Every structure is written in C-alpha cells, then in structure tokens.
Amino acid sequence: MSGAVVEIIQTNGKEDEVPVAVGRAVYEHPYIVRLCHWINLVALFVMVGSGLQIFRAFPSFGAKIPQKDLLHWPKAFAIGGWLGGALQWHLTFMWIYIATGVLYLGYQIFSGNYKQVLFTHRDLPGVWPMVKHYFFFGPKPPLREAYNPLQKQAYTSAIILGVLSVATGFAVWKPIQFSWLAWMMGGFHYARIWHFAVMWAILFFVLGHLVMVILHGWSNFISMLTGWKKDPEY
Amino acid sequence: MKKKNADLKLQLEEKKFKQVNRRELLKLAPVLALGAFAVPSLREVLLKKGLGFSDWTAARFFRPGHAATTFDDSDLTPFAKFPINGYDVDDPGVDFDAWSLTVSGAVKRPGDYKLGQVQALPRFRQNTRHVCVEGWDVIGRFGGTRLSDFLQLIGADTTARFITVNCADDYYESLDMETALHPQTLLCYEMYEQPLTREHGAPLRLQIPTKVGYKQAKYLTDLKVTNVLDRVGYWEDQGYSWFYGL
C-alpha cells in the first residue's frame, strides 16, 4: 500500500554521529499500480492504433449506401496495415488490456489503496479551487495528500472510461451473445458509436495527463517508475 | 542502515534509498515482455495465438439457444441499399438449370441436391441484422430452409465438428456444427420475399445472423460434413478470425 514516509539521511558510518537529513520521500505508487500503468500504456496505444485502422475500413457511422465518411484517419498513424492485421492486434491486446485492468482494480479494492485515488463526495469542495489554480491562475490550495481532488476526479473518470471502453467493445464484438449489453447502448450500430466516442474521451484524458506529468517535474514522473517521490509537496 | 530518531520517523540512508529505488524499477522488468511484439517473427506467432484465443473464447460465449435479434418490417434497410460484397466478381455466372448442391462427407445420403429439394423443406423468413467485418450493418429480410433441417434430410452426422462449403466464385468457408444447427442458420434462397438475385448469391447462400457477414457464403456449390478442416475459409486464410460469432 502507498503512504509510507521516510527521511533520507546521510551518514559516514561512525557510531554516535548525528545523521544529516537530506530530504523526505513518500511511497506513492505500489508495485502493482506501477506495473499495470506501464503495461496498459502499451496496451492502450495498440488498442487505439489498431482501433483506428479498423475504423478506416468503414470510417462512417451512417449508411453504407450511400457512404459518407466521417473522417479520414491516416494509415501512417494506425497499427496493423490493413483491416485483417488491425483485428489481430486489437483482438490480441484486448486480453492484455482487460487482464491488466482487472488486476489493477482488484489490487486497488482488496488492498484498500483505492482510497488514494477514488473521487468521493468529500472531494467535491476541493475541485473548484484546483480548477481555478490550474486554469485561471488562482492561488495554490494546500496539498494534504498524494492526489488533489481534481486529480482524483480525473483518474476516477479515466478508470470508468476504461471500463466503458471494454463494455462498448464487447457490445461491438458480440452484439448477440451480449445482447443485453448492446441493448443498453441502443444496439450494435450505436454501440460502435459509443466505442468510438469513449476512445476520444480517453485520448482527451491522456492529453491532459501528459501535460500535467510534464508540468509536475522529474521527481513526480519517477515516482510512477520506482514508487517513491522525493520531497513531496505535502 | 535504518534508524528511528526521536520523532519515530523512519530514516533511510541515501545509498540504501537509491538501492531501493533501483530495485523497485527493476521489478517493472516484466513490462519489457511486451517487446516481443516488436520482433517480426515473434509478432506473427503471438498475434496468431492471440486471435486463436479470441476465437476460443468466442466459441465459449456461443449459446445455441440464444436467438439473434429480429426486427419489424419497418426497420428493414431498403433492398436497393443492401450492399453487395465479394472478393472477386459479384456474379460468377451460375447456370441455374445445371445447378445442384453437391453433398459429401459424414452423411448417409450424399450426392447432388437440386434447389427444389431444398425448397421443399419448411421455409423460414427472418428480419435480422447483417454485420460486415468492415463495420457497417444493415437489416435484411431473408428466407430459406433451416440448415439443421437440410442436415436431417441428407442424414448428416451432427456429432461431426464442421460444415464446409465451396462456392461458384471459388470462395470457401467453414462453420462449427453448433452454429450450423442453430435455428436461425438458413440455407437461404430468398431476400425480401423474392428469389436471391445473382449478386446476392443465387441460387443458394448461407444466412447466419449469429455470424459476421463473410462467413455467410454465397452461390453455394458444395457442402461437406466433416471432422477435419482441410480448407478453413477465404478470409481466414488471409488472417481473419475463423469463429467470428456475433
């Protein structure tokens, strides 16, 4: 679980010397969280890339006759080379994506570590001050924990979107065997639209996430690799 | 060396801290296994296995008693807007007078069956969704005889695993027996209550609402009941999914 705090000290090995504190560090990200993050970074990249190649085969949500394309996604920014190849990537990596997601959710719930990142009603009052600070040059609210309310909202939404990407994907893949799922989405034709829309929502999240990671510096980035964040702001 | 100072805060020597960080980073090594997909020879094998696993899972999800959604006549896509797809020509020039379905394999009554014999069996009509692997879908009205009734007519061994078909345009496909026996799987000779047109697969095609479009072979010429798949399917041989149940 996350949360352990240490004081980093320097000594030169003598018995009764007083150690010099050179910093603090917090264990922010447990192993399973980090493992799942990096696996699904690759998996999501492949799912989006191959998904867009699949989309290129019929880049429309209207009728086939007459066909009116929604947008032309360039082949160079898609994975698989052609529909057959893209489906192989998509139908292979979907299992990696799902297994990793299940591992992540299972770990978060059973370890209790979800409390670090789950957005609850208690976080509501803190959202607007964070929005003001990030987007409107408002004052920096005091940070008390690893994730501020806006971050919790973002990451919780991202997880929900991840689940939706799988649910909509299943409805597109098996609209008959998962007919109840497809029905909730308005049938196969609409499930395909939802699946596409959820992908864009996830990409929007990823964009925001990358900007924030870059803005928050090296120590913050490293914490998703080693788990430890040196000299946290809280 | 860890010490606890008067404030009971855990202390960690800088050197040890770096060691811990390094170890935690190395624990992420399993992620590098995904790099196998970057190696072309490994990639082919892995993707084939991945698709195979998807197919295996798909077959597990198939419920023989579960029907594909049927629709009202008002939901039908107009016939003129029902797309025609093929891999070669849309009309392979079938000679309807000479046509027969050549039946072979694990059956008691092999041989050539004329269209009249197929049409003599009970006719079922259904408004179902046709989904193409490309991503588009239409709702069509199809009519024909249940494949399961035809299998009974020919005395097929329904414990066999597969049905394979050949077509007049040299297309070929294969079907799992479970899907073949599904009540909505038709030997279809009608669309929108008219005989099949040439481009839509006349005189006889498979119509399988529980499968993707490319498995619903057109202009059938041969049907075989077998436990061995010597030829799988035109698109499958290019790398597409075999089971592709919806």
pTM over 0.90: yes
Q: What is the mean pLDDT of residues B173-194?
A: 98
Query: Which one, of B158, B161, B178, lies nearest residue B245 by Cα?
Result: B178
Q: What is the mean pLDDT of residues B83-106?
A: 94
Q: What is the mean pLDDT of residues A109-119?
A: 96
- Measured in angstroms, the CA of A9 and the nearest CA of chain B are apart by 5
- Measured in angstroms, the CA of A35 and the nearest CA of chain B are apart by 6
Q: Scan for tokens 């479009």, then name that residue.
A: B213
Q: What is the DSSP string of B87-101?
A: SS-S-----TTT--E
Q: What is the DSSP string of A131-155?
A: HHHHHS-PPPPPP-SSS-HHHHHHH
State the number of CA atoms in the 13 A half-sphere of B68 facing the CB. Answer: 26
Measure CB to CB from residue A88 to each of B30, B47, B138 and give the nearest one. B47
Q: What is the DSSP string of B150-199?
A: HHHHTTB-TTSSEEEEEETTS-EEEEEHHHHTSTT-EEEEEETTEEPPTT
Residue A119's SS3 state is coil
* Cβ <8 Å between A92 and B54: yes
Which residues from chain B sit within 8 angstroms of residue A42, using beta carbons?
31, 34
- Measured in angstroms, the CA of A24 and the nearest CA of chain B are apart by 9
Quick: pLDDT tens for B195-225.
999 999 999 999 999 999 999 999 999 999 9
Confidence category of residue B39, pLDDT binned at 50, 70, 90? very high
Q: What is the mean pLDDT of residues B8-37?
A: 92
User: What does the alpha-carbon distance between residue A46 and residue B108 come to, in Å, rounded to a whole number?
Assistant: 50
Query: Which one, of A79, A35, A36, A39, lies nearest residue A55 by Cα?
Result: A79
Chain A residue with minimum CA distance to B6: A18
Confidence category of residue B88, pLDDT binned at 50, 70, 90? confident
Rounded (10°) angle between helices B14-26 and A217-226: 60
In angstroms, the Cα distances linking A4 to A225, B23, B27 are 16, 17, 19
In angstroms, the Cα distances linking A140 to A28, A123, A129, A136, A148 are 21, 16, 8, 11, 11
User: What does the alpha-carbon distance between residue A81 and residue B47 come to, in Å, rounded to a whole number?
Assistant: 14
Give the CATH number of domain A5-230; options: 1.20.950.20, 1.10.10.10, 3.40.50.880, 3.40.640.10: 1.20.950.20
Confidence category of residue B230, pLDDT binned at 50, 70, 90? confident
Confidence category of residue B9, pLDDT binned at 50, 70, 90? low
pLDDT at B149 over 80: yes
pLDDT at B231: 85
ipTM for the whole complex: 0.93
What are the beta bridge partners of residue B102? B112, B222
Domain coordinates in residue numbering, chain B: 67-238
Cβ within 8 Å of B, A 84-123: 84-85, 87-89, 91-96
Q: Scan for tokens 């009509």, then name that residue.
A: B125
* Cβ <8 Å between B50 and A95: yes
What are the beta bridge partners of residue B223? B103, B165
pLDDT at A168 over 80: yes
B240 contacts B87 by C-beta, under 8 angstroms: no
Residues 6+ apart with CB under 8 A from B57: none
Quick: pLDDT tens for A14-59.
777 788 888 999 999 999 999 999 999 999 999 999 999 999 999 9
In angstroms, the Cα distances linking B148 to B14, B178, B208 are 74, 10, 12
A132, two tokens = 């003001």
pLDDT at B6: 47
Q: Scan for tokens 């005091």, then name that residue.
A: A142
Measure CB to CB from residue B129 to each of A22, A188, A228 and give the nearest one. A188
Query: Where do the H-state alpha helices sit in A83-123?
Result: 83-111
Which residues from chain B sit within 8 angstroms of residue A57, using beta carbons?
133-135
pLDDT at B11: 87
Residues 6+ apart with CB under 8 A from B15: none
Quick: pLDDT tens for B113-142.
999 999 999 999 999 999 999 999 999 999
pLDDT at B3 over 90: no
Measure CB to CB from residue A57 to each of B20, B30, B134 and give the nearest one. B134
Which residues from chain A sit within 8 angstroms of residue B241, using beta carbons?
87, 91
* Cβ <8 Å between B49 and A92: yes
Q: How far from chain centre, in Å, is Cα A200?
A: 13
* Cβ <8 Å between A228 and B24: yes
User: What does the alpha-carbon distance between residue B226 and residue B160 come to, in Å, rounded to a whole number?
Assistant: 6
Any A CB within 8 A of B20 CB = yes
pLDDT at A95 over 70: yes
User: What does the alpha-carbon distance between residue A208 and residue B191 come to, in Å, rounded to a whole number?
Assistant: 51
Domain coordinates in residue numbering, chain A: 5-230
Sign, CA dihedral B85-B91-B94-B95, equals positive
User: What does the alpha-carbon distance between residue B3 and residue A148 come to, in Å, rounded to a whole number?
Assistant: 31
User: What does the alpha-carbon distance between residue A155 and residue A115 come to, in Å, rounded to a whole number?
Assistant: 12
- Measured in angstroms, the CA of A226 and the nearest CA of chain B are apart by 5
In angstroms, the Cα distances linking B6 to A6, A20, A23, A231 are 14, 14, 17, 21
Q: What number does CATH give the domain B67-238?
A: 3.90.420.10
What proportion of chain A, given as a percentage, has pLDDT over 70? 100
What are the beta bridge partners of residue B143? B125, B190
Cβ within 8 Å of A, B 31-90: 31, 34, 37, 46-51, 53-54, 58, 61-63, 66, 68-69, 77, 80-83
Measure CB to CB from residue B61 to each of A57, A174, A192 and give the nearest one. A174
Confidence category of residue B2, pLDDT binned at 50, 70, 90? low
Which residues from chain B sit within 8 angstroms of residue A7, using beta carbons?
5, 9-12
- Measured in angstroms, the CA of A107 and the nearest CA of chain B are apart by 16
* Cβ <8 Å between A88 and B131: no
pLDDT at A233: 84
What proportion of chain B, given as a percentage, has pLDDT over 90? 92
User: What does the alpha-carbon distance between residue A229 and residue A214 come to, in Å, rounded to a whole number?
Assistant: 15
Any B CB within 8 A of A169 CB = no
B215 contacts B173 by C-beta, under 8 angstroms: yes
- Measured in angstroms, the CA of A108 and the nearest CA of chain B are apart by 18
Measure CB to CB from residue A84 to each of B34, B210, B239 and give the nearest one. B239
